[in-house]
Amino acid sequence: MYQQLLQTLQSSFHDLFHNGEGRIFFAPGRINLIGEHTDYNGGHVFPCAITFGTYAVAKQREDNLVRLYSMNFEDKGIIEFSLDELEYNKKHDWANYPKGMLKFMKEAGFSIATGVDVLYYGNIPNGAGLSSSASIELVTGVMLEKLFKLTIDRIELVKIGKKVENEFIGVNSGIMDQFAIGMGKEGNGILLDCQTLAYEYAPIELDNKKIIIMNTNKRRELADSKYNERRDECEQALTELQSVVNIQSLGELSEEEFEVNKHVIASPVVQKRAKHAVYENQRTIKALQELKLGDIAAFGLLVNQSHISLRDDYEVTGIELDTLVEAAWEQPGVTGARMTGAGFGGCAIAIVDTDQVDSFIKSVGDTYKDKIGYDATFYVASIGNGAQEII
């Protein structure tokens, strides 16, 4: 199947561009096991790369023309621009992600002397919250790095991806997505301190268990969602707390410190938002400790508590995600379940005993369809490596 996919991509590249054989690159999507909406609050996250992602077949050109095509957006056709015109263009739609990488890599001093032909194909469900945009950014970055024989520290490439998201696309997101996708390691989660970028790999021993991704099939557009509103509420809480404690981010507070000082946050709603940021960060740190002890049941409880906090204190779940997660909690063989990603639709994850996977999918799927009126989609995920060339 996999070899067949690579052959299909290669022949599609050849048919489109008539430019011989390309080189093939891959960047994964990511799920965040725990630690949601903590990244921009200076806290910890615990993501891993998955084996779904974005493929790019690419070859250098002799002129300075860039031609991009996505098999996921065939109706857009080949999108063309030159290396001299790397400005954001609404008409260029999805191609603004690779264009932003070209622009900011050139601005960072990397020599990209000619144009490229690139065919993209992603098997991450669009708008599901598994970070297809960061996957496109990182596959483009690694492709440019290899094609033009550049020497780029991987964390610098990760930071360029984040810059594209923030300054070129205009989504005020944190660094977790690009970091997990750039730095992923098979069989491991990454505990990442979003403030310092200190990180630690943690083996995830899921003996006889699988990670199930549950897609609500409710599309969510991050830029249009309440994401920026939540960020503003956390900034407000931080400013008010700084009148009594010397901190640069909510992630620096323990639960006890928060409880002692939360009275300075005037709005009850803003207080709830800050509570989630503080408590979720502590849960994420505890999650690593439980995994190191091999206590997957304790890890699962923290995962469940994360969802409850996202539902009640941060209010970013919605009926679709809550229906999936609450149905998952009722099933036999479930260690834990929660929404993952920004929320407002997108995906949830569940850790399920391998021998219960089929009945889990059927039962949760039926409950969801009965209540929501349309189907959820389920994927069995494996934890894979970060962005790379496929040799």
Any idea which residues carry the catalytic annotation? Answer: 177
Q: Under a CB-based contact definition with an 8 Å cutoff, are residues 270 and 233 in contact?
A: yes
Q: How far apart are CA 353 and CA 332, in angstroms?
A: 8
> For residue 227, is it left (φ>0), alpha (ψ between -120 and 50) or beta?
alpha
- The position carrying tokens 């009945």 is 359
61 Cβ contact list (under 8 Å, min separation 6): 19, 67, 114, 115, 116, 117
Alpha helices in 222-267 (DSSP H): 227-241, 255-261
User: 349: how many CB neighbours lie within 10 A of its CB?
Assistant: 27
Give Cα separations from 60 to 86, 118, 138, 274, 339 (angstroms). 17, 9, 18, 48, 41
CA 122 from chain centre, in angstroms, equals 14
Residues 6 or more apart whose Cβ sits within 8 Å of residue 9 = 24, 55, 57, 71, 119, 121
Give the angle 168-171-175 at the CA atoms, nearest 5°. 95
Q: What's the CA gap between 46 and 162, in Å, rounded?
A: 17
Q: In this structure, which amino acid lies at residue 252?
A: E
Residues with Cβ < 8 Å from 273, sequence gap 6 or more?
Answer: 230, 233, 234, 237, 313, 314
